Amino acid sequence: MSDAERRLWAAFPTGTRVVLGDEPPAGPDPSRIIRAEVISQLLLGAHEPRVGYVPAVRLSGAYIIGTLDLSGGMVEYELLLTNCRLSEAPDFSNAQTRQLRLSDCRMPGFDGGGLRADGYLSLSGSVIEGPVHLPRAQLLGGFRMNGTRITVDDPARWALFAGSLMVEVGLFGRECEINGGARLVGARMNGGLYLEDAVLRNPGRLALDGQNMVVEDIAEFSRATTIGTVRLRSARINGTLSFSLSRLDAGAPERMALHASHMQADELLLMPAEKIRGRVALSYSRIALIMDLPEYWPDELWLNGLSYETLRGADFKDRLSWISRDKEFYLQPYEQLASWYHGIGHDDLARKVQLAKMRARRRRLHPIGRGWNLLLDWTVGYGYRPWLAFMWFGVLVAAGTVVFSANPPKSIKPGEEQPDFHALVYTLDLLIPIDTFGQQQAYDPQGWSRWVAYALIAAGWILATALIAGVTRVLRPN
């Protein structure tokens, strides 16, 4: 046993910290070498505790050789490693431990699959050049990885692999850097997820896979940078999901920057520091409050099936652009937005949304259907603007009155049956599809005014048909 190991052995019963250096050793300095098996033996009860003290392994500045293997073990004592260098990845898989703190260390990986820690697990400030495995781990005191940097070179491996992780207090990864993607599928964070100022980098792949993840209180990505896809499909955020001042970059415009379909959240704050690069999918999600800013929206948004209670951050024109950014046409985003405006008392805006829906639908019809829909739009605004029909009717009445005043029609009835001619009444008789005033049957237009009469008759039928079709919504899709 070396001098450093004897010091650690002697300090264990009282939990005294052994300091071999203030920085992780660059190499295997003989004066700072500790065998991993010595630490394992102490944690597994090879040394008798001292009455009146709390035994623990507290070690700083050591070069630890071999594998710190506590897999499947019952660890009754705290482990604190700071500024240490581990030659091999420690193995805590399926172990039951108290508090584990490996801060500001360097190591080639970490295996904690199935780990159960009654205290917290801390990897804060550490540089980990290999994968961190925590699938099915239960961390009752929280998981801290503030300032941690994890890097994997193999694109087929995850930098952080933690499916079904359960963190009781919260996961804190402020200013961490994860190169290779983080997998948190089915994870549960009962105290929140905090990734402020973090960098998650996995270009062309998943930067974060949080599918079916459950987060209580808040999922905080403020000022974070994600290079790759953030997938939160079917996640449940019982609080706020915040991307305030963050940077979302899929790495390619045709890829997803944020895939959050089928998600449930109380609030979504989508206010990044710059325009989102890549697609965003919120399809079939249920979000109580959405707060976003139009200048940062991506070029393509998937909103079909999205339901919400409150919208903030954009005016009416921007919301129309918002629901039209899907390359495919769906009725539901328009219906949902119209319903929201109706619910807050803006029936006029709700009608404008419905009108925009019909116009968007028209662009996808065949030429004949497109022509008929265009006529409905011009004449009655698909029934949402019936005053247009009266406007057109007034214009035609004025035009007909002027024409037939200048060029009166010829009488075609005997004098005793002939009503007095009035240009205004005659024009009304031509426009209204039924014979109302008897003028049309008593007079016959002459010359070029005959074509004006024919045009007025046709226009009257078209206006009447369009008004009936629009107001009764005959042509509205179900």
Distance CA 151, CA 181 (A): 9
pLDDT digits 0-9 by tens, 404-425: 777 778 777 666 666 777 777 7
62/33 Cα distance (integer angstroms): 6
pLDDT of residue 30 exceeding 70, the answer is yes
pLDDT digits (tens, 9 = 90+) for 58-92: 999 999 999 999 999 999 999 999 999 999 999 99
Output the CA torsion 144→149→153→154 (10° steps): 20
Q: Among the listed ranges 278-282, 296-300, 310-314, 352-356, which one has the minimum average pLDDT value?
A: 352-356
**Tens digits of per-residue pLDDT, 193-218?**
999 999 999 998 999 999 999 999 99
pLDDT of residue 368: 61
Mean pLDDT of 444-472: 70
Span 355-378, pLDDT tens digits: 778 766 665 655 766 565 665 555
In this predicted model, what pLDDT tens digit does every residue of 150-184 receive, in sequence order?
Answer: 999 998 899 999 999 999 999 999 999 999 999 99
Q: What is the mean pLDDT of residues 330-339?
A: 93
pTM, rounded to two decimals: 0.80
d(CA 324, CA 336): 13
Q: Has residue 385 got a pLDDT over 80?
A: no
β-pairing verdict for 286-292 and 264-270: parallel
For 90-138, how does the pLDDT look when each residue is reduced to its tens digit (9 = 90+)? 999 999 999 999 999 999 999 999 999 999 999 999 999 999 999 999 9
